Structure 1
Amino acid sequence: MPNICVTPFCPHEKYHLFLCELDDTTFIVDAGWQIEPLDTPQSANDKAARTSQRLDPVSTLSTVNWALIDFILISNYEQMALLPYITEYTEFSGPVYATEPTKSYGRCVLEEQMQFAYTTSSSASQKYLYSQRDIIAAMEKITDVRHNEIVSPMPFVQAYTRSSGYCIGGGNWTVEYKGHRTAFVSTSALACLHPQEYDPSCIAEAQAIVYCDVSDPQMQGNMDGENIQVTQRLNQLCSTAIATLKQRGRVMLVGEPYGVTQDILQAVIENSISLNLPLPQVVVVSPVGERALQYGNIMGEWLCESKQALLYLPEYPFLDKELRQKGHLHFVESLGDLARRHIPQGTWFVIASPRDTRTIEHFIRQWRLDAQTCSSADMAASTGMARFSILMHDDDVVAAQALVDRLAATAEMTYCPVPRRFTAQTVEQTLRGAGRAQHVLVPSHVYARLSTSHWEFALCEFSHLNATLVSLDTDRHLPLNIQRELADSMRAQHRQHSLVTGVLALAAGNIRLECEQLVKPPKAEVVVDVAKWTPEALAEELTANGLDAAADHPNVRVAVPGGTAVIRMDSEQWQVDCTSASAQWVVFDTLKRVLES
């Protein structure tokens, strides 16, 4: 009976790195870590509160025997901070798997973090974990995968990812070992913005489920109705920006040039056009801003359905291309680059990273001076630059609040976090679809908030550097044929519940339940003439029965959760090749029903 041991290494609530031991297979899920600017000031109280988050990742990871790590799975671009260090400065030599957007955006995140670290500290070259060359080398070692694509990094081990709904390319990994599936639910969101929608099948299929990070309810507040709350937060930020732009003021949005920032920018521009306001000059201050915004347009297949529909018109799913053509979109890498660029005066909409405190403080200082020199006539006519707004949406409340406190003395900031990550309530909601779960692991800070009385599975908690071991038992659910026979029997007796006792018997490879309630008259033998079937007709019938089937003359290819199958249609005898036992079960059961009907 296989066992899996999960050990979390990152102490931060939002980022994570899991060491997983599955019998003789050892792998890593995500490589996240909280990377802060090297000169970030700290108060005495703040030091005590954040000591655990400032642990040295090098000393923490030195306890891992990297030569024994077989492979690494990366869920999204926020969980890659330590990947270049692992691939370039440890003995790890296995494959790394991630989606194409995760790889592309992850490189932007890593380069931006390193750039800000080097510009904020003269000794950064001695303190930082890796170099630009290390980032490039790490990206070259990543194998691109698509959602639902099955990879086999080790014998008897298969892995695939499903959309997490959190960011472009973000996914939740499922690792299948000898027929047992373990799902790692990384940073996920039910609120539908521009990324591809959350796929719940990763939870429905798994025997063991690990919720890698769950938002602390005390920080995020009540999250009932994620879509409604996220929409309200975005509307609040957009309304504040529009109110300032109406008075010919200037707006700074503190956030990376990807993720929620794209949705806010889209909403502000669309509202400006609908209200016949002059388009603001959008200035993106970031060394990776131009690439990051372009990825949103060129990776349309990774977006939500409404954004993907624009690709068939054809239209660009975001407005940055239109802004660029009208001369209202400007990319500058730093303040020095901004000084050398000519950008028209007027209403500005500036996007700056929360790590780039120098740029934020520069604009606040400059805009305050402009407000002080603005005459009363200009203010009355709304032609001056007296008003400006600073907006922030980061859902990392601790880090965001530290920046708000730092800038509160110089400017009024509208901090409106857009919390999309799972909370305890969301975990309970998603677990209702966990029909095969036997073990569920959640972070310790939400374990006490989950009700443990009404679940059929074992609920466990994990915490920093504490190993959690669970046994992947055999599936406790009855085979589909027995479930169907029990349902038919209860339906015939007009019952919703029934107590059935009998003996399970194995005959000719089929499991049967022998009991009085299921005694039925023998059916007449059905003879199927397979020569009458065509690949197109069979694919159509399999699709009508819930499978993803397509004709590939003279075969039929079928994709099911956890595997694929090929039905080779010979004129006298068919052959079915399946990639996994679970796929074989589903395909054979459906094929039998189709042929008998």
Structure 2
Amino acid sequence: MRLTSLLPDGEPNCMALKLRQMLILLDCGLGQEQLYAMPVREGGLTETHKNVAELAAVTATTSKQTNATNNKRPNSTVSNAEQTDLRQDWASFLKSSTASFQPNKKKARTGDGAGVPETRLEGESGLGSGSGSGAGSASASANSPSAKGTSPTASRDYMFKLPDFSGIDLKSIDVVLISNYNHILALPYLTEFTDFQGRIFATEPTIEFGRQLMTEFVSFFGTAVASSPHEAIDRKKLVARSGAGLYPAYTLADIKACIDKIQAVRFREHITLYGSLKLTAHSAGYCLGSSNWLVQIGTENIAFVSSSSTQSNLHPDLFDGTLLEHASTVVAADLCPKGSTTYDSGMNDICANVARTIARKGHVLIPCTISGFLFDLLEDIHLHLNRMGLVSQVQYSFVSPVADTALQYSNILAEWMAPRKQEMVYLPEAPLLHGLLLEKGAAKNYKSVHGAFSSDLKHPCIVFGGHPTLRSGPMVNLLHMWGRNSNNSIIFIEPRVDVPASLEPYEGLEISQSICPLDIRLSIDQLVEVMNKYRHAKHVLVPRSATSSTLADGTAELSDAKGTTSTSAIRWSSYKVGESIQLDMGSLYETVLLSEELAKGIYPQAFGNTSYAAVAGSLSIYNNQMQLEPASVTGRQVLALYTQRQLRGVMNLQNLLAGLVAIGVVDPEVTESGPDKDETGSTLPEIKVEFELAGRRSCIIVREDETIVKCDESVRPLLREPILKCFQTL
């Protein structure tokens, strides 16, 4: 077995697992760290059709601005030179697409409701040109808290870091297993940009929420070229030039084609592929439809534990640890960083901050995706405000291009929820609170901050949605509108977000800022506890960040409270991006099928209540399936050299004594003894026959399941025939 991590720890998962002849991709996440080095998108999407001079000016301007930003953020993952080259490639790509499509000139549109003032950048056209994206990003005046280093002509094209597929033949990937929708964003790149031909498996909620997340991703970070037909542009050429591994966003057509290739599975549904590959999904307890996978080939069982949670008071189905009972190796991924606050503590802080803001008539911004623990967060906030007597004053708003779909779909997935939530379906009652709030009008959803959001706005308001990085989406607009009021607050709940980097482009913010990450993933301490509970896996692989050191023999010392190291029961090892971990599975036996032709020539012999037959043939392996077939003439000659007689039966004492007398043994001594301990410590009754033959003292010990001969080597050939007569030859 060989495991390779294709994305750094802290980014969404993507791992390549080589198991015998099978190549399995575990998750397909998209790296987004480089977003922090990109400009904030305001005023909608960049127009695609510009002349070469404008594109060159955009590229030069953006390079200078990005240099300034990167100088302030030395840890940026995208170098200045890389960004310049990539933007030039992307500009050339956009230019080449203009030959097939006519320019779409978009009319300027201004804000149309109280609470959303018109803001402009010189040369741009006011609040949200829209550009078909649904992102609803606002422009900003020179005096507003706009993005640093942006200009009227600044590029809004985003590039994304894919998993490092350079060492993998993508055409040879047999299976892709998706654990949850947070690790699926790079899948369209794999299915639509490469020669991938394998199978993809995920649960139904993962597929649907993944579709919504991809759609939102394109809305926030795509370009106007997203509306262009797939066939008109050869994006693989751009991908080939992009040596740094950064890619533009895919299109809505790519999303549909990708989703159509995914096969839905249910929890504990057994899937058999390619003869001997068996896959089973188990609940991970993290979000709706989140799954851990058990991969079985022959006698090798590998459990992939990704984004799992043992938190029992949330809405997803509970963590199912039964897959660990059958796993000899466990690959643990996407663990909670050491030192993270507990979920309950973080929830208490959020509820307290929200209540304080609502009490002073301020708005609350919570940048997050419309899925996951947002549904539990909403319930806790609503209950807390109700206890504080503030619930009647507040309006809940969900702003996202997919808000309506996500909220409606989540309430019909009761079978994927915890038992207490499933029971509510039969009352009948919506299992998640937002269904009731939407029905009563206390909560509303919007595609963007334009139009209805402005007219419906109620003071105070709690707004969920937008991209947590604050580089695009409705939160950009709302920060420009409400960021200078200290009565308002913004609360960061996503555990992966670099908050200082998210806020870096914004100047003059007086809005109250709170960092309360809600992280329900397994910590290293919880993982150790889970593994000790089941104690069936012999080898556990964890991210390098979860270890404090690696010993000389390759085992890891964990950074848990006890500093756990390898024991006789479990061996711990670590992995990191770009490093292949090779493990010897240690399988001693394999399952082999008999061909029909060979089986016809087998005639078992009865030995008591059991029948045996000697089998010899030519072994063939295809699709991980082993089969014995009749050997050729040459094969039979080779097999004959290695054929040995096998003895079966129970030793008959009288026949043995008669045989010994026949070869000249006189007065053998027979002693029957009670149970005695053997080498393994078990007790067995035995009969001992002692005699002298050819001047050498010898002994034969007869037990129920074995016969032991103790004699000189010169005497052993003489004892052969008397012993063979007591058994049948197979």
Q: TM-score, normalised by structure 1?
A: 0.70
Q: Judging changes above 3 Å, is the alpha-carbon distance between structure 1 residues 401 and 147 closer, same or farther for their aligned structure 2 residues?
A: farther
Partners of 2:445 and 2:170 in 1: CA distance: 40
The CA deviation at 1:145 is 0.5
Q: Is the 8 A contact 1:203 1:433 kept in 2?
A: no
Superposed counterparts of 1:91-130, under 5 Å: 91-118=195-222, 128-130=248-250
Q: Counterpart in 2 of 1:347?
A: 460
Q: Judging changes above 3 Å, is the alpha-carbon distance between structure 1 residues 24 and 121 closer, same or farther for their aligned structure 2 residues?
A: closer
Q: Counterpart in 1 of 2:152?
A: none
Tell me the alpha carbon deviations over residues 252-290 of structure 1, each in whole angstroms, 9 at most, x when there is no partner: 212111112222212222333344431522221110111
Q: Pick from 319, 326, 332: which aligns with 1:211?
A: 332
Partners of 2:178 and 2:16 in 1: CA distance: 13
1:428 and 2:425 are equivalent in the alignment: no
Greater shift, 277-286 or 141-150, is seen at 277-286
Tell me the alpha carbon deviations over residues 422-472 of structure 1, each in whole angstroms, 9 at most, x when there is no partner: 222222212203422222111112222512143533322211111111121
Q: Pick from 344, 357, 366: which aligns with 2:481?
A: 366
Q: Counterpart in 2 of 1:46?
A: 73
Q: Judging changes above 3 Å, is the alpha-carbon distance between structure 1 residues 408 and 236 closer, same or farther for their aligned structure 2 residues?
A: farther
Quick one: percent identity of the two aligned structures?
Answer: 25
Q: Counterpart in 1 of 2:502?
A: 403
Partners of 1:56 and 1:405 in 2: CA distance: 20
Partners of 1:304 and 1:68 in 2: CA distance: 38
Q: Counterpart in 1 of 2:251?
A: 131
The CA deviation at 1:171 is 0.7
Question: What letter corresponds to residue 116 of structure 1 in structure 2?
Answer: F
The CA deviation at 1:141 is 0.8
Q: Judging changes above 3 Å, is the alpha-carbon distance between structure 1 residues 59 and 394 closer, same or farther for their aligned structure 2 residues?
A: closer
Superposed counterparts of 1:122-201, under 5 Å: 128-192=248-312, 193-201=314-322
The CA deviation at 1:14 is 3.5
Tell me the secondary structure at the aligned position of residue 164 of structure 2: helix
Q: Judging changes above 3 Å, is the alpha-carbon distance between structure 1 residues 430 and 138 closer, same or farther for their aligned structure 2 residues?
A: same
Q: Pick from 13, 24, 29: which aligns with 2:10?
A: 13
Tell me the secondary structure at the aligned position of residue 336 of structure 1: coil
The CA deviation at 1:15 is 1.1
1:296 and 2:374 are equivalent in the alignment: no
Q: Is the 8 A contact 1:96 1:142 kept in 2?
A: yes
Q: Is the 8 A contact 2:30 2:162 kept in 1?
A: no
1:416 and 2:495 are equivalent in the alignment: no
Q: Is the 8 A contact 1:204 1:433 kept in 2?
A: no
Question: What letter corresponds to residue 13 of structure 2 in structure 1?
Answer: H
Tell me the alpha carbon deviations over residues 562-591 of structure 1, each in whole angstroms, 9 at most, x when there is no partner: xxxxxxxxxxxxxxxxxxxxxxxxxxxxxx
1:68 and 2:68 are equivalent in the alignment: no
Q: Is the 8 A contact 1:162 1:202 kept in 2?
A: yes
Q: Is the 8 A contact 1:251 1:391 kept in 2?
A: yes
Q: Is the 8 A contact 1:281 1:346 kept in 2?
A: yes
1:471 and 2:584 are equivalent in the alignment: yes
Question: What letter corresponds to residue 478 of structure 2 in structure 1?
Answer: F
Q: Is the 8 A contact 2:5 2:577 kept in 1?
A: yes
Q: Counterpart in 1 of 2:243?
A: none
Q: Is the 8 A contact 2:70 2:76 kept in 1?
A: no
Tell me the alpha carbon deviations over residues 120-155 of structure 1, each in whole angstroms, 9 at most, x when there is no partner: 999999852421111111111111111111111221
Question: What letter corresponds to residue 196 of structure 1 in structure 2?
Answer: D
Q: Is the 8 A contact 1:404 1:415 kept in 2?
A: no
1:281 and 2:395 are equivalent in the alignment: yes
Partners of 1:473 and 1:88 in 2: CA distance: 38
Q: Counterpart in 1 of 2:353?
A: 240
Q: Counterpart in 2 of 1:269?
A: 382
Q: Is the 8 A contact 2:226 2:250 kept in 1?
A: no
1:329 and 2:326 are equivalent in the alignment: no
Tell me the alpha carbon deviations over residues 211-263 of structure 1, each in whole angstroms, 9 at most, x when there is no partner: 1222332xxx156xxxxx21121121012112222333322212111112222
Partners of 1:196 and 1:518 in 2: CA distance: 49
Q: Pick from 538, 563, 567: which aligns with 1:438?
A: 538
The CA deviation at 1:169 is 0.6
Partners of 2:567 and 2:162 in 1: CA distance: 42
Partners of 1:222 and 1:344 in 2: CA distance: 35
Question: What letter corresponds to residue 353 of structure 2 in structure 1?
Answer: T
Tell me the alpha carbon deviations over residues 15-72 of structure 1, each in whole angstroms, 9 at most, x when there is no partner: 1211111111111110012235453564436343535999974683243212211111
Q: Counterpart in 2 of 1:86?
A: 190
Q: Counterpart in 1 of 2:105?
A: none
Q: Judging changes above 3 Å, is the alpha-carbon distance between structure 1 residues 29 and 338 closer, same or farther for their aligned structure 2 residues?
A: same
Q: Is the 8 A contact 2:397 2:446 kept in 1?
A: yes
Q: Counterpart in 2 of 1:34?
A: 31
Partners of 1:31 and 1:335 in 2: CA distance: 31
Q: Judging changes above 3 Å, is the alpha-carbon distance between structure 1 residues 507 and 315 closer, same or farther for their aligned structure 2 residues?
A: farther
Question: What letter corresponds to residue 199 of structure 1 in structure 2?
Answer: D
Tell me the secondary structure at the aligned position of residue 168 of structure 2: coil
Q: Counterpart in 1 of 2:570?
A: 457
Q: Is the 8 A contact 1:194 1:303 kept in 2?
A: yes
Question: What letter corresponds to residue 571 of structure 2 in structure 1?
Answer: A
Partners of 2:577 and 2:5 in 1: CA distance: 5
Question: What letter corresponds to residue 48 of structure 1 in structure 2?
Answer: N
Q: Counterpart in 1 of 2:92?
A: none
Q: Counterpart in 2 of 1:305?
A: 419
Q: TM-score, normalised by structure 2?
A: 0.58
Partners of 2:210 and 2:386 in 1: CA distance: 33
Greater shift, 52-61 or 414-423, is seen at 52-61
Q: Judging changes above 3 Å, is the alpha-carbon distance between structure 1 residues 78 and 59 closer, same or farther for their aligned structure 2 residues?
A: closer
After superposition, the CA RMSD in angstroms is 3.2
Q: Judging changes above 3 Å, is the alpha-carbon distance between structure 1 residues 344 and 213 closer, same or farther for their aligned structure 2 residues?
A: closer
Question: What letter corresponds to residue 81 of structure 1 in structure 2?
Answer: L
Q: Is the 8 A contact 1:205 1:435 kept in 2?
A: no
The CA deviation at 1:108 is 1.1
Gapped regions of structure 1 (runs ≥ 5): 224-228, 372-385, 477-505, 522-597
Partners of 2:206 and 2:565 in 1: CA distance: 35
Question: What letter corresponds to residue 115 of structure 1 in structure 2?
Answer: S
The CA deviation at 1:202 is 2.2
Partners of 2:519 and 2:287 in 1: CA distance: 13
Tell me the alpha carbon deviations over residues 326-373 of structure 1, each in whole angstroms, 9 at most, x when there is no partner: 22322222233456x52053221111222454532432343356x5xx
Larger radius of gyration: 2
Partners of 2:212 and 2:451 in 1: CA distance: 19
Q: Is the 8 A contact 1:114 1:128 kept in 2?
A: no
Question: What letter corresponds to residue 18 of structure 2 in structure 1?
Answer: E
Partners of 1:197 and 1:119 in 2: CA distance: 40
Gapped regions of structure 2 (runs ≥ 5): 41-65, 84-158, 229-234, 239-246, 549-556, 559-563, 590-646, 650-676, 687-730
Partners of 2:340 and 2:248 in 1: CA distance: 38
Q: Judging changes above 3 Å, is the alpha-carbon distance between structure 1 residues 123 and 60 closer, same or farther for their aligned structure 2 residues?
A: farther
Q: Is the 8 A contact 1:439 1:460 kept in 2?
A: yes
Q: Is the 8 A contact 1:112 1:288 kept in 2?
A: yes
Question: What letter corresponds to residue 442 of structure 2 in structure 1?
Answer: H
Q: Is the 8 A contact 2:199 2:262 kept in 1?
A: yes
Q: Is the 8 A contact 2:14 2:163 kept in 1?
A: no
Partners of 2:406 and 2:516 in 1: CA distance: 23
Q: Judging changes above 3 Å, is the alpha-carbon distance between structure 1 residues 310 and 132 closer, same or farther for their aligned structure 2 residues?
A: same
